[in-house]
Amino acid sequence: MKKKKNYNLILGCILTGLVVVFVLVGLVYTPYDPEAMDSSLRLAGVSLAHPMGCDNFGRDILSRVIKGSGTTLFVALGTVAIGTVAGTLIGALTGYFGGIADEILMRIIDALFAFPSILLALVFVSLFGSGKYNVMLALGIAFIPSFARIVRSEFIRCKNMDYVKLARLAGAGHLRVMFVHILPNTLSVLVSAVMIGFNNAVLAEAGMSYLGIGVQPPDASLGRMLSEAQTYLFSAPGCALFPGIVIIIMVLGFSLLGEGLKKTA
Amino acid sequence: MMLEVNHLSIEFHDHQLPETVVNDFSLKMNEGDIVGLVGESGSGKSMTALAIAGLLSRRDMEKKGEILMDGVNLLTCPREALRKLQGDKIGVIFQEPMTSLNPVYRIGWQVEESLRIHRPQMSKEERKQRALEVLAAVELSDVERVYRAYPHQLSGGMRQRVMIAAAMVCRPKLLIADEPTTALDVTIQAQIVKLLQKINREEKTAILFISHDLSLVRKLCHRVVVMQKGDIVEDADIEAVFNHPREEYTKKLIAAIPKCEKKKTAGT
């Protein structure tokens, strides 16, 4: 049988790979200092020296986009990591054991879910201050419910499977059954959830930075650049265009990757 | 006496009215015994088996009586003690070989699971050695390949053999087989029954064979317990039951066995 090519996966890998290479290069090299200002280059257009032009302080946009995608990616990574780990733990415990603890925890999760995540993050940031790490923590907590629900439903599905019963009959303890026997079976669902979560995190970080409560200057982040650029949207469209394009590539890449992985699983 | 079940009753309490699924069940088994447990669907035979295997949740239901395995009461002993017995002294195989193996692990890993839990002192090579040995004992050919295969690469009959291998890997004294042949076709059924007989002969493993197929039970078991609606209606030696069934229900079950008779054709 001829295997159908998984274009989603291929394209997703290419786009995500591009972004990752972009970010990794930014760790060691940027064409200019992303924070160096030069008033003679204010809102300069696209040129060979500055392929994406310069912003309102005369900073090189390419360098800032490279640094900014790094920040955005880092925050998204941290957010998803917090959400996934905590969500998986809660989901696994509630789904596996059920009972009264399940009821209580899930109602708390429901309450958390009912809150718009941006609002939750806003409250968190105004309590603990803004900055990369607080944004990460705030968004991470806001992301826990969705992961907890997905993992919980998968655990409920798996815990009555014969192979889980047999694992218990082989003498495996609860923790071993949960994390060695059941968890790998939830991975196919969890991986695509992580990819979608990644997208939402990129967008949420951009949104929060755009509102001015996310990453603080002089740190560059894609959302922050967008918000700084809106005043000059007509005089220097490149200031908003290029960070915007990178966000699109990032989100598109992760979406396609998630879809593609779901198909292979 | 290896296994002794005395006056076991199981009552569900998760609905409004309590429901008795097993009522005053008693059973004694020695090493090497093969006992058949028969009855129609809903007669409580699987619940009894799960109770003996120690899989019934301790919530939602009330259990009376005692299940003694080598003198340890499985219904009241601490969870840790129960876990020590499960997989080591008691092995279980289920009806459905398609869902009884974890799809994400290789066969070898799954066969070795009981060893990892109960024989932590064994090295990786020793475990593999034992797994290959037990896979060969259930008459699988090309055991190296099976060891490395994933469940979806095996047929139903092969998977059921793998299940038996996994249950037997620690050399349990008691094997509980909950309708192990129901999902298989007739030729494979006969092979599995032969295999169980061989295991019983060579390892002196006692087998509690649960089935609704009396003809298989007759082939395999020394003794038979007939259940109906949670009650034991008959408990006797296999030939006694078949030749002189005392209860109406047993007679009906025996009458329900399909028989092969030569058709009389015209001219003979």
User: Could you report the per-residue pLDDT of B159-214, keeping only the tens digit for each?
Assistant: 989 999 999 999 899 999 988 888 788 888 888 888 999 989 888 899 999 988 88
Q: Is there a contact between B117 and A168 if contact means CB atoms under 8 Å apart?
A: no
| Domains defined for chain A, CATH in brackets | 7-19+54-264 (1.10.3720.10)
Instruction: Note the ipTM here.
Output: 0.82
Is the separation of the CB atoms in B167 and B202 below 8 Å? Answer: no
pLDDT category of residue B232 using cuts at 50, 70 and 90: confident
Is the separation of the CB atoms in B91 and B167 below 8 Å? Answer: yes
Is the separation of the CB atoms in B147 and B124 below 8 Å? Answer: no
Q: Is there a contact between A169 and B85 if contact means CB atoms under 8 Å apart?
A: no
Q: Does A264 touch chain B (CB under 8 A)?
A: no
User: Which segment, A258-262, B124-128, B239-243, is predicted with the most confidence on average?
Assistant: B124-128
Q: What is the pLDDT of residue A41?
A: 67
Q: What is the pLDDT of residue B145?
A: 92
User: Which of A163, A174, A191 is the best mutation test for B, with the most CBs of B within 10 A?
Assistant: A163
Q: Which residues pair with B224 in a beta bridge?
A: B36, B236
Q: Is B206 helix (H, G, I), strand (E, B) or coil?
A: strand
Q: Is there a contact between B100 and A172 if contact means CB atoms under 8 Å apart?
A: no
Per-residue pLDDT of chain A (265 residues; tens, 9 = 90+): 456 778 888 888 888 888 888 888 877 777 777 776 766 767 666 776 677 777 777 777 788 888 888 888 888 899 999 999 999 999 999 998 888 888 888 888 888 888 777 787 788 888 887 778 888 888 888 888 889 999 999 999 988 888 998 898 888 888 899 999 999 988 888 888 888 888 888 888 888 877 777 777 767 778 778 877 777 777 777 778 888 888 888 889 888 888 888 777 6
Region B35-60: mean pLDDT is: 83
Residue-wise burial string across A192-225, b where 16 or more C-beta atoms lie within 10 A, e elsewhere: bbbbbbbbbbbbbbbbbbbeebbbeeebbbbbbb
List of chain A residues whose C-beta atoms are within 8 Å of the C-beta of residue B94: 162, 165-166
User: pTM of the prediction?
Assistant: 0.80
Would you tell me which residues 108-147 of chain A have a C-beta closer than 8 angstroms to some C-beta of chain B? none
Token couple for A225: 């650049």
For residue B87, the chain A residue with the least C-alpha distance is A170
Instruction: Compare CB distances from B53 to A167, A169, A184 and report the shortest one's residue.
Output: A169
Specify the length of chain B in residues.
268
Q: Is there a contact between B87 and A163 if contact means CB atoms under 8 Å apart?
A: no
* Shortest CA gap B96–chain A (Å): 8
Region B78-92: mean pLDDT is: 87
Interface A-B, measured as beta-carbon pairs within 8 A, has a size of 60
Q: Is B121 helix (H, G, I), strand (E, B) or coil?
A: coil
pLDDT category of residue B228 using cuts at 50, 70 and 90: confident
Give just the sign of the alpha carbon dihedral B215, B218, B221, B225.
positive
- Separation between Cα atoms, residue B35 and residue B2, nearest integer Å: 13
Q: Is there a contact between A163 and B55 if contact means CB atoms under 8 Å apart?
A: no
pLDDT category of residue B264 using cuts at 50, 70 and 90: low
pLDDT category of residue B263 using cuts at 50, 70 and 90: low
Q: Does A161 touch chain B (CB under 8 A)?
A: yes
Chain B residues in contact with chain A using a Cβ-Cβ cutoff of 8 Å: 53-55, 59, 83-88, 90-92, 94, 96, 99-105, 110, 113-114, 117-118, 163, 166
Q: What's the Cα-to-Cα distance from B231 to each of B26, B39, B54, rounded to whole Å? A: 10, 10, 20
Residue A39 per-residue DSSP state: G
List of chain A residues whose C-beta atoms are within 8 Å of the C-beta of residue B85: 171
Instruction: Compare CB distances from A163 to B55, B86, B99 and report the shortest one's residue.
Output: B99
Q: Is there a contact between A172 and B117 if contact means CB atoms under 8 Å apart?
A: yes
Region B72-98: mean pLDDT is: 87
